[in-house]
Amino acid sequence: MKNLFVILFTCFTLFSFSQDENLTDAQGKKQGLWKKYHDNGMIRYKGNFKDDQPIGEFIYFYDTGKLQVKMTHFGAVSYANVYYETGELKAAGKYENQLKDSVWSYYSTDGFKMADEFYINGKREGSWKVYYSNGQVTEEKEYTNDFENGIWKQYFIDGKEKLAATYVNGELEGRATYYDSNGKKVVSGTFIRGARDGFWTFYEQDGTTVRKKEEYKNGVRVDANKDDNIIDMEGIKYIPENEAFPEELVNPKY
C-alpha cells in the first residue's frame, strides 16, 4: 500500500508540474515556463516568457542532452554564449531585437580566439578579424551596411603582410598585391568591379624583377599565354554561421 501511495504521489506531482509548462493566456500569449524537445525526446530548450516575450535565462541543448547555448534576455537585448558539444565556449555575442549587434567572438576547442565580427542591427559593420592561435591577426576586412567596404588584408603568422586589397560595395576594386613571407612582391594587379582587369605582374624572388605579365579584361584572360593562373583571391574560412548557431538563434523562434 505504501509503494502504491508513492507511485500515485509521484504521478500526481509530475502531472501537476506539466500543467504549469507551455501555457498561454486568454490572448494566446506565452506565459511562464516553456520547454521544447528534440525528436528523440531530449529537451531542446527551456526558459520563461512574459506576455509572449522571453525573459531571463534560456538554455538550449544538443539532442544528446549536452549544453549548447545559454541566452540571457533583458527586454529587447539578449546575450548568448554558444558551446561545443564537448563543453568549450564556441561563440559569444549580443542580440538586439533578435538581430546580432556589436561584437561577436568565436573560439576554438583549444580556447583561443579565432575571430571577431561586428554587427549593427544584424548587418555586418566595421572591422572583422580572424586570428592565428598565437593571437596574431591573419585576416582583416572592413564592412559598411553589410557590404565589404575598405581594406582587405591577410598576414603571415609573424605579422608580415601577405595580401593588400580593397573592396568597394562588396566588390574588389583597385590594386591588389600579394607578398611572400620575406615581404617581397609575388604578384600585383588591378580589379574593376570585382573582376581582374589590365595587366597582372608576376615577380621573381627578389620582388622587383618581372617574371611575366598576364592581361585580363572583365575577368577574362586575353593574352596569348594561358598556361597557368594567378593566386586565388580567397579569404580565410573559420566558422560557418550555420555551424556556430542553432537555427533558432540565427532567427530566434520560440
- pLDDT band for position 66 (cuts 50, 70, 90): very high
Assigned domain for 6 exists: no
Assigned domain for 164 exists: yes
- pLDDT band for position 189 (cuts 50, 70, 90): very high
Residue-number span of the structural domain to which 36 is assigned: 21-172+224-250
- pLDDT band for position 65 (cuts 50, 70, 90): very high
Distances (CA, A) of 16 to 3, 4, 10, 19, 184: 20, 18, 10, 5, 73
Assigned domain for 186 exists: no
Query: Among residues of the chain, what percentage have pLDDT more than 90?
Result: 76
All three cell numbers of 37: 524537445
Round to whole Å and give the CA distance between 83 and 92: 9
pLDDT digits (tens, 9 = 90+) for 196-231: 999 999 999 999 999 999 999 999 999 766 655 555
Give the pLDDT score at 245. 47
Assigned domain for 115 exists: yes
Q: Is the pLDDT of residue 9 over 80?
A: no
Assigned domain for 2 exists: no
Give the pLDDT score at 196. 95
Residue closest to 94 by CA, chosen among 107, 80, 106, 82: 80
Assigned domain for 4 exists: no
| CB burial of residue 58 (10 Å; 0-12, 13-18, 19+) | buried
pTM: 0.81
- pLDDT band for position 7 (cuts 50, 70, 90): very low
Give the pLDDT score at 228. 55
Number of separate domains in the chain? 1
- pLDDT band for position 251 (cuts 50, 70, 90): very low
Assigned domain for 206 exists: no
Average pLDDT in the chain: 86
